[in-house]
Structure 1
Amino acid sequence: MRRRVPRWHDLGPLMKFKRPVLSPRRRRLASALTIADLRAVAKRRTPKAAFDYTDGAAEEELSLARARQAFRDVELNPAILRDVSKVDVSASPLGVRSELPFGIAPTGFTRLMQTEGEYAGAGAAQAAGIPYTLSTMGTASIEDVAATAPHGRNWFQLYMWKDRDRSMALVDRAAKAGYEALVVTVDVPVAGARRRDTRNGMTIPPTLTPRNVVDAIPRPAWWFNLLTTEPLAFASLDSWSGTVGQLLDTMFDPTVTYEDLAWIRTQWEGKLVVKGVQTVADAARLAEAGVDAIILSNHGGRQLDRAPVPFHLLPSVVSEVGDGCEVWLDTGIMSGADVVASLAHGADFTLIGRAYLYGLMAGGRPGVDRTIEILRSEIERTMRLLGVGSTAELEPGHVTQLQRLIPRR
């Protein structure tokens, strides 16, 4: 080999300096390539009690772990030599186009995670052309969220309370504010045993203890935002000073039945969705009752530990329900590949909860935008690698569910 002294005009094309990004938020969001990366940023920036409320689940957290493991145990089966220069990643939940095959699930106490809370979620969803679901336990009012995203697909999630009049007053407000769908959550006769919250003394508003104060010292931005914006409170409730679990047990009505659901149907003229379905038999009964969609969900593992894995239930429910109503999936989705696997397995649509909150805690509204951007990119790439040009082309042959937990007969 002959060697020579390098010349600048030879080195120049090989050395391109990256333009510095002055905004710390833009830097950390740009460096986040996955939802797991956003989670890591969120954990650094959010006090433990608030982060654990989002990140945790019930009891030993087995339901959540199993739901996520189910997606890890998926084998995707690609076809080759297909034209995938363009891919259509849209879906049509409730008969209306969504630019992406997922929407934002209802989450409570969202402004506790980051002060922009529900406003960031609804605004980002509107910008992305996907649905946003406001929780009964939200910290922004029904009317304010509608005003934030006046052109968005806004849905309202209902917990049936012991005080039925107050429950239906919320439904009436949602109807008057133009909400498209009512999402009734049915897996909450009582609150799940969320041990992280109990150990952290999770209350609304946050309780200041020596441990919390020490934990907050390296996170001044969170406290600054909390103390310099509108006081944290429930937009649909009176004030509360106890723990979250105590509040939920006070509110939730363990007497709710199918007859109550039928009564709700008579009170609501829009689309009706039922969230928290965990058996084939209940799915079939709801389809016969005429609901527009059911959501297979174990509440993100936050209610019954060792609950069925929604992804495992999906093929049997789709087979049983047929065209009776739409079947959606929630719980455990942490990547675009998870969304694609769900659609191939038979889901008409999916919802994300924690993934959205990790983005919110990592960077407010831009962080939610980043969550959606990451998932969109992963969905498009996965579909191209599968040789699929649209979500409508996804079918069971694209997915093999590797078996880890097999029921003993």
Structure 2
Amino acid sequence: MTPASIADYQRIARKRLARIAFDYLEGGAEDGHTLRRNRQAFERLTFQPRVMCDVTHVDSAVTVLGRPLAMPAIVGPTGLNGLYMPRAEEDLAKAAHAAGLPFVLSSASTSLIEDVRRATAGDLWLQLYVQQNRAIAESMVQRARDANFSVLMVTVDTPVHGVRDHDVHNGFKLPLRPSVRLMADLLMHPRWCLRMIRQGGSPQLVNLARSLGERANINAQAATMSRQMDMGLDWGAIAWLRKLWDGPIVVKGILSVHDADKAAQLGVDGIVLSNHGGRQLAFAPSPIEILPRVMDRVGQRLTVIVDGGVRRGSDIAKARALGAQAVLLGRAPLYGLAASGRAGVDDVLGILRREFEITLRLLGRCQAAQLDATALDDGHRDQLARLDCS
């Protein structure tokens, strides 16, 4: 059966990935409340369409941070993608650029900055985690500059990893260690197991290894990504980053009007309203819930992007109508990658683009730039308020 939606690709990915890999992709913090809330926030928003409008020609393109996007979406940063397919970041980047979108490479990628640049001439952004040893971040930023990356996106919501029960149940830690449960899981998914063997076993956090100045050592890499995160990171780091990077800086992981205002005061170029895909703080608000109040405070001063739970082109339209310049796509492209490699990512992005353009036409809008709050039911702010726990 030909996949018709992101949910179809999600089901295929579930079948093809070993459970330890799919749970890492799909799981949220604690009991999954924040993860579910991300979808519920989108689902409770309803449209207010206009009819008898000429929608013969529709333009889904927008401009974000001075960069043209074929639709208001960016293929966002996700880590350990080698769990799903070899050379995953290269395929994600190539698919993003074929679709007219930027690709954000994670610090926790399993492909080198330099290899991803060699794979494509498209627009690349770097997502940065800051460790206690800031020389690692400095090295990574310099390498991204040398590779002509255009935007630096610093993630600020991970001083520690959130509580993830599924990883404990599966014994997930790097490197993957043999256990009865893992061996049974591998036997049930021989194709996935063969792919892991062909790429040398556990995927490596190769960018960390290079910036650490070490040979591939998954134990050292995992320690750097977890126990050695800079828990003292504060707003003073923006000045430090400005000395390292002369392009746009985006702060990812904002979940309050207060922090959005602080970012604007410090002159960052953009923010991503994000709860890390529901993987960090349980009972955090959904980004789409706080978007209207953030736009009221800082919408005229910086670029606002949202992520969390985007599964349909209509979700992209809702985010844009509430003021976001674009959404970050996290899990959706990974479902396509796990299901069918590069072709699956191409199809996922194509599905979202088609759904978005259909939504524009049915709303009576010819251009993505025309989407505003009038595209949503008048009660949408009340709907968000009923969900808001911030």
Q: Which bracket does the TM-score occupy, shorter chain normalised?
A: over 0.9
Deviation of 1:207 after TM superposition, in Å, equals: 2.4
Q: 1:50 to 1:408 in 2, by over 3 A?
A: closer
Q: Which letter does structure 2 place at the counterpart of 1:142?
A: I
Aligned residues of 2:170 and 2:181 also touching (Cα < 8 A): no
Residue by residue over 1:304-332, the C-alpha shift from the partner in whole angstroms, topping out at 9 and shown as x without a partner, is 11112110111111110132111111111
Question: Tell me, which stretches of 5 or more residues in structure 2 are unaligned?
Answer: 210-216
Quote the Cα distance in structure 1 between the aligned partners of 2:159 and 2:4. Answer: 38
* Residues in 2 aligned to 1:343 and 1:310: alpha-carbon distance in whole angstroms: 13
2-side partners of 1:208 and 1:405: how far apart? 46
Alignment partner of 1:183: what SS? strand
Output the TM-score relative to the length of structure 1: 0.89
Distance 2:237 2:329 in 1: 27
- Listed one character per residue, the Cα deviations across residues 229-249 of structure 1 (whole Å, up to 9, x for unaligned) are 3552111223224996x6643
Task: Quote the offset at 1:352 in angstroms.
Answer: 0.6
CA contact (8 A) 2:285 2:389 kept: no
1:369-380 alignment, distance < 5 Å? 369-380=346-357
Counterpart Cα distance in 1 of 2:46 and 2:224: 42
Q: Distance in 2 between matches of 1:301 and 1:186?
A: 15
- In structure 2, which of residues 11, 26, 37 is the aligned counterpart of residue 55 of structure 1? 26
Q: How far apart are the structure 2 equivalents of 1:110 and 1:314?
A: 29
User: Which amino acid letter does the alignment assign opposite residue 141 of structure 2?
Assistant: V
Cα distance, 1:99–1:406 mapped onto 2, change above 3 Å: closer
1:212 counterpart residue number = 182
Query: Is the contact made by 1:202 and 1:243 (CA closer than 8 Å) also made in structure 2?
Result: no
Residue equivalent to 2:214: none
| 2:7 alignment partner, one of 30, 36, 39 | 36
Change (3 A) 1:302 1:273: same
Q: Which moved more, 1:391-400 or 1:133-142?
A: 391-400
Q: Which residue of 2 aligns with 1:137?
A: 108
- The answer on 1:327 being equivalent to 2:304 is yes
Deviation at 1:407, TM superposition (A): 5.4
Aligned partner of 2:151 among 156, 181, 205: 181
Secondary structure at the aligned position of 2:304 is classed as: strand
CA 90–193 in structure 1, closer or farther in 2 if over 3 Å, else same? same
* CA–CA distance in structure 2, aligned partners of residues 408 and 331 of structure 1: 16
Query: Secondary structure of 1:215's match?
Result: helix
Once the two structures are TM-superposed, the CA of residue 408 in structure 1 deviates from its matched residue by: 8.2
**Counterpart residue number, 1:276:** 253
What fraction of aligned residue pairs are identical, expressed as a percent?
38
Q: Distance in 2 between matches of 1:242 and 1:196?
A: 23
CA contact (8 A) 1:191 1:248 kept: no
User: Corresponding residue for 1:8?
Assistant: none
Match of 2:218 in 1: 240
Q: Shift of residue 70 of structure 1?
A: 0.4
**RMSD of equivalent CA atoms:** 1.7
| Ranges in structure 1 where 5+ consecutive residues have no aligned partner | 1-27
- The alpha-carbon distance between structure 1 residues 355 and 297, as it changes in their structure 2 partners (threshold 3 A), is same
Question: Where does residue 84 of structure 1 map in the other structure?
Answer: 55
Counterpart code for 1:173? R
Deviation at 1:220, TM superposition (A): 1.7
Q: Which residue of 2 aligns with 1:302?
A: 279
Q: Deviations over 1:167-199 (max 9, x none)?
A: 111010000010000000011111111111111
Q: Work out the CA distance in 2 between the residues paired with 1:294 and 1:384.
A: 29
- After TM superposition, the runs of 4+ consecutive aligned structure 1 residues lying more than 4 A away are 406-409
Q: TM-score, normalised by structure 2?
A: 0.93
Which digits, 9 at most, give the CA deviation of each residue in 1:239-261, with x for residues without a partner?
A: 224996x6643131110000012
CA distance in 1, matches of 2:387, 2:194: 49
The residue type equivalent to 2:60 in the other structure is V
Residues 242 and 69 of structure 1, relative CA distance in 2, 3 Å threshold: farther
Match of 2:367 among 390, 393, 396: 390
Structure 2 CA distance for partners of 1:190 and 1:408, relative to 1, 3 Å: closer
Deviation (angstroms), 1:212: 1.7
How many residue pairs get aligned? The number is 378
Question: 1 CA distance for matches of 2:198 and 2:6?
Answer: 29
CA gap of 1:217–1:243, structure 2 versus 1, over 3 A, is farther
Q: Which of the two has higher C-alpha Rg? A: 1
Q: 3-state DSSP class of the match of 1:269? A: coil
Whole-angstrom CA distance in 1 between matches of 2:56 and 2:293: 34
2:131–2:224 Cα contact (<8 Å) kept: no
The match for 2:236 is 259
Contact 1:116–1:365 (Cα < 8 Å) also in 2: no
Amino acid at match of 1:94: L
Q: CA deviation at 1:206?
A: 2.6
